[in-house]
Copies of this chain bind each other. A is one copy, B any other.
Amino acid sequence: MKSRTFGSISGVIPGRTLYASRRALSDAGIHKPLQAGISGSAEDGADSIVASGGYEDDEDLGDVIIYTGEGGRDPTTGKQTHDQELKGRNLALARNSITGRPVRVVRRADAGYRYDGLFNVERYWVKRGKSGHLVYQYRLVKTQLAPSDLAGENQTQETGLPPGTSHPEFRSSLVSRIVRDSEVGMRVKELYGFRCQVCGTRLETAAGPYAESAHIKPLGRPHNGPDVPENTLCLCPNHHVLFDGKAFSINEDLSLAGTEGRLFVHPRHIIEKTWLHYHRSQFLGIRECGQ
C-alpha cells in the first residue's frame, strides 16, 4: 500500500493557514521532508514541493511557476557550481508530468509557509542556467479541478484499489482522449494517410483513421517552436508519447536515436534540421545526465 498522500489533504484549505516552520508544515501532512524542496520518489512521483525562490532560474507568475530542480549548488555560497541530474527527487517531479498527478505547492510567506493548492507538472526540460550549468526545470500550472477530484485520501477496497465514484464530475479530461490538432497538423496527417512516420501504424476507428501531429521543437515556453509543417510529424499516439517523453529522438540522417529504425518522410514534406537538433539536445541532456 502506498503511504504517500497525493492531492488535497483533508481539512486543509489552500491559502488559509500560515505555518511557522517546516516542522509545522510536515506535521500538517502538507510537505513531509524538513529540508528537501521536493517530496517524492522516482517510482510514484512527487506529492509536494516548497517553492522558496532559492534558485536564480526560478520564476513565479502566480498560477504558473517555473521551478528549478535540486542539486549542483555549493552548500556555503548557494551558487550553482555543477550540473544537476535527473534522478532522485528531480526525477520524481518529472514523473508527475507523465502520470498527470498534481503536486501540493507551498510558498514562503513573510513569517513562514503557506499552502497554495494543487499544481500540475505540465512539462519539464533541461537548460543551461544563468550559472552556465545544466539545470532541470518544471512548468507547474495551478489545477482547475474541484478538490473532490483530487482528494488523496481515498479509502481502498480489499483489492487495494480505491472505490472511486459513481457520479464523477463532468470533466472533459476524464472523458475524451482525442488530441486536437491545428490545421497544419491535420494537413500533415492527411499527407501521411494517418500512418505513423516511425512504425507505419494506422489506427482504424469506426469513424475513420486516427493519428496525432507532434511538434519536434515543442510549442509554448520555453521552447517556443513554430506550428509549421517543417516542425510537425505524423505519429501514432504511442510514438507521440515516446517522442515527447524523450524515449527516442531523430538523427540528422533521419535514423532514430535511442531506438532502432528510421523516420519515414514523404517527398513533399521538408523537415527542418535545426528543430531535429533541438529535440536531440533535449533528448541527450535528459538521457545522458539523467540515467
Chain A residues proximal to chain B, CB less than 8 Å:
6-7, 42-43, 45, 86, 91, 94-95, 97-101, 120, 122-124, 149-152, 154, 157, 159-168, 170-184, 186-189, 191, 201, 203-210, 212, 214-215, 218-221, 226-229, 231-232, 236-238, 240-242, 244-247, 268-270, 283, 286-287, 290-291
Contact = CB atoms under 8 A, between A and B. Distances in A.
Contacts of A242: 203-205
Specify which of A214, A220, A237, A246 lies most central, judged by the most chain B CB atoms within 10 Å of its CB: A237
Q: Which 10 pairs, one residue from A and one from B, show the smallest C-beta to C-beta distance?
A: A205-B245, A237-B237, A164-B228, A100-B180, A168-B227, A94-B207, A166-B226, A164-B184, A206-B246, A161-B229
Given A160-B268, A177-B241, A237-B237, A6 B203 contact: no
Contact of A175 (B6, B43, B157, B218): B218
Given A161-B188, A173-B179, A203-B241, 4 more contacts: A164-B232, A166-B227, A205-B245, A206-B283
Contacts of A231: 164
A285 to B, nearest CB: 10
A181 B97 contact: no
Contact of A161 (B179, B201, B268): B268
Nearest to A283: B206
A152 B203 CA distance: 26
Contacts of A209: 98
Nearest to A282: B206
Specify which of A86, A226, A290 lies most central, judged by the most chain B CB atoms within 10 Å of its CB: A226
Contacts of A206: 86, 94, 245-247, 283, 286-287, 290-291
B168 A122 contact: no
A214 B175 CA distance: 9
Contacts of A236: 237-238
B237 A207 contact: no
A94 B150 CA distance: 32
Contact of A174 (B122, B227, B290): B227
A266 to B, nearest CB: 9
Contact of A184 (B162, B187, B189): B162
Contacts of A122: 172, 175-176
A165 B226 contact: yes
Contact of A98 (B86, B208, B241): B208
A290 B204 CA distance: 14
A220 B175 contact: yes
A185 to B, nearest CB: 8
A210 B212 CA distance: 17
B269 A208 contact: no
Contacts of A238: 201, 203, 236-238
Nearest to A209: B98
